[in-house]
Structure 1
Amino acid sequence: MKIFKISEDTVRQLSNFFRKNRGSVLIEFAVVLPLIIVLCAGVFELMMFALLNNKLTRTVGVLGDAITRDDIKRSEITSLLNTARTFLKPFEFNSAGSIVVSQVRNDGLTTDPSKMVISWQVNINGAASRLGTVGARPANMPNSLTILNDQAVVITEVFYNYQPIVFKGFYSNKRLYHVSTFVPRVGSMTSLKAE
């Protein structure tokens, strides 16, 4: 039986091989790169979600404010609502967003919230209001708002179906909802101006 003898040169070469670390940076980079890519994609997704929420909040506020400045026609409200497409760029509003504007009033000089009624609604992109339909008592009033003593408010609701941009397969779509409430500045806006 022969015993293999390892020469000193071979031992020295093997020890030098394990002692050298010239390729370690490349290996570390190869391990860390996928983590950096996932982290950057996550930050991008979070920034886009926050940007969309900010744009929706501003849109619902600006539209509600513009609608309540003066008596207005249904066609003028529709024109104002169509400007949301511009406000929400780069997000696609036509296929993913919708808006409803409702006027809620309290009939008569009473403090009874059961007398609240939805006088009119205008929507684009087929939105259905969380408040209810015209002529009905509103459900789900923002912040449990009660309208009293022959007063009225205009409530603007924006809906948006958010689809993740980067992580489509990992996260489901989310329906975003923003609402604003404004008191009409001129009159009560219980009916829209004639066309």
Structure 2
Amino acid sequence: MTIRTTNRCSVAQIIAQLSKRMLGDRTGVAAVEMALATPLLMVMLGGTVEVTRVISVHYEVAQMTNTVSDAVARYENGIDASVINALFSVSSDIVGTSDFKDNGYVVLSSVARAKGAKDAKVAWQCKGGGALVSPSAIGKIGQIATLPNGLTIDEDDNVIVAEVFYKYRPILTWLPISESVVYKTAVFRPRLGSLTTAPGC
């Protein structure tokens, strides 16, 4: 039995014509390019958002550290626990983030060097402002103080050191940015007298 074909074109010719038509058709190029570029654009956009947030958090925590330390250093010849607790209670407002009470922590230390003493020691220390408990890098009460950046103080001198801890959690968990603890310190000398008397906190 013989099969007759009414089409004069061979299979090879048909394939060649289709290939030529497909290679010349550019109607889907934009869609393909968009599909390939979208994941990269999403990663770049997400990375920009998170990097901006990290920079903002570092700035806000540094601002809070300066504000708290400066506020305490303005008191004259003593400060009580109610003032320090009030500062701790507005920590979230100072930082500008609503989750500071869950992810933040403030340590205020008075560091003094007695007359004739070789080293400065922690005179008193207050902690609070949030649930993130972290040990002070300055030291414990009565111990030799480790001041930031190798700072030293003169005999019969006193400084207020604020330490702020904040646990940064990224919004976009699919990015390679992990949560970390932002730590900032600020040192101010009392303006109106020594602040070495424990405030009772």
TM-score range (shorter-chain normalised) is 0.7 to 0.9
* Residue matched to 1:135: 142
Equivalent position to 1:119, from 98, 103, 123: 123
Equivalent position to 1:51, from 45, 56, 64: 56
Residues 193 and 177 of structure 1: CA distance in aligned 2, closer, same or farther (over 3 Å): closer
Runs of at least 5 residues in structure 1 that lack an aligned partner in the other structure = none
Letter matched to residue 69 of structure 1:
R
Residues 9 and 118 of structure 1: CA distance in aligned 2, closer, same or farther (over 3 Å): closer
Is 1:163–2:173 an aligned residue pair? no
Distance in 2 (CA, whole Å) between partners of 1:42 and 1:102 is 37
% identical equivalent positions: 25
CA drift at 1:61: 0.6
Q: Does the CA-based 8 Å contact 2:109-2:160 persist in structure 1?
A: yes
Equivalent position to 1:40, from 41, 45, 61: 45
Residues 68 and 168 of structure 1: CA distance in aligned 2, closer, same or farther (over 3 Å): farther
Is 1:29–2:11 an aligned residue pair? no
Q: Which has the larger radius of gyration?
A: 2
Is 1:92–2:96 an aligned residue pair? no
| TM-align CA RMSD | 2.6
Is 1:103–2:110 an aligned residue pair? yes
Letter matched to residue 155 of structure 1:
V
TM-score after normalising by structure 1: 0.87
Residues 13 and 194 of structure 1: CA distance in aligned 2, closer, same or farther (over 3 Å): closer
Q: Does the CA-based 8 Å contact 1:78-1:123 persist in structure 2?
A: no
97-106 vs 185-194, greater mean Cα deviation: 185-194
| CA deviation map 1:98-152 (0-9, x unaligned) | 0000000011145x3x2x111111110344211111111113x111111112000
CA drift at 1:194: 7.7
TM-score after normalising by structure 2: 0.85
Runs of at least 5 residues in structure 2 that lack an aligned partner in the other structure = 4-8
